[in-house]
Amino acid sequence: MEQSTNSHFQFCPQCATPLDTIQRRGGTRLSCPACGFALRRYPVTGVGIVVLNGQKILLGRRARVSFGSGAWCIPCGYVEWGEDVRAAARREFLEETGLNVDIGAVYAVHSNFHNPNALTVGIWFRATVVGGNLQAGDDLDAVDFFPLDTLPEPLAFPTDRLVLDQLKQETLGPATDLFASGKLYKRAGFNP
Ligand SMILES: [Zn+2]
């Protein structure tokens, strides 16, 4: 996917010379003709926090935000500069839901392209509630647990849907037997 053109930057952050747009690797990049500074963009790191109560998942409704107002999402946020990724997940979840969590294993990782001006890599962690009072805060105006097979619409992020589909499959779907599914074969007569 082509990166956006950085067109909202006009001047070199090092020497304040107006930036030039140059062609590079099939895309465009802003470069300073005076000092050679090149403005590169990289995706920001986002964290999503998956908290289940039985077969229900905690989701939040987005309020007053630039993307997805009124739509539902897995509680999430950005990792701040200098912040540990799991500390960011704990902080965002507390800010948005009022609940303290222990952060568990990474559940999923996806690249997010839904907003061309804010590309991110999302890391979804499993987490366990250890205390607090459930109350929407920060970017959310409602929080609630929903059965995985009766999710609210619309969802704000396409990658949240991938994560929710994965959870639904693993939590509600039939257990997969590797031999029965044909993904794994046993060699006859092999007895180590
Ligand atoms: Zn410069």
DSSP state of 19: P
Please give the distance, rounded to the nearest whole angstrom, from the Cα atom of residue 35 to the centre of ligand 1.
Answer: 4
Please give the distance, rounded to the nearest whole angstrom, from the Cα atom of residue 70 to the centre of ligand 1.
Answer: 42
Domain boundaries, the chain: 1-41, 44-172
pTM of the model: 0.81
- The yes or no reply on domain 44-172 and CATH 3.40.30.10 is no
Query: What proportion of the chain, given as a percentage, has pLDDT over 70?
Result: 94
Q: 47-105 pLDDT, tens per residue?
A: 999 999 999 999 999 998 778 899 999 999 999 999 999 999 999 999 999 999 999 99
Please give the distance, rounded to the nearest whole angstrom, from the Cα atom of residue 92 to the centre of ligand 1.
Answer: 36
Residue 178: pLDDT above 80? no
Please give the distance, rounded to the nearest whole angstrom, from the Cα atom of residue 18 to the centre of ligand 1.
Answer: 8
Please give the distance, rounded to the nearest whole angstrom, from the Cα atom of residue 21 to the centre of ligand 1.
Answer: 13
Please give the distance, rounded to the nearest whole angstrom, from the Cα atom of residue 20 to the centre of ligand 1.
Answer: 10
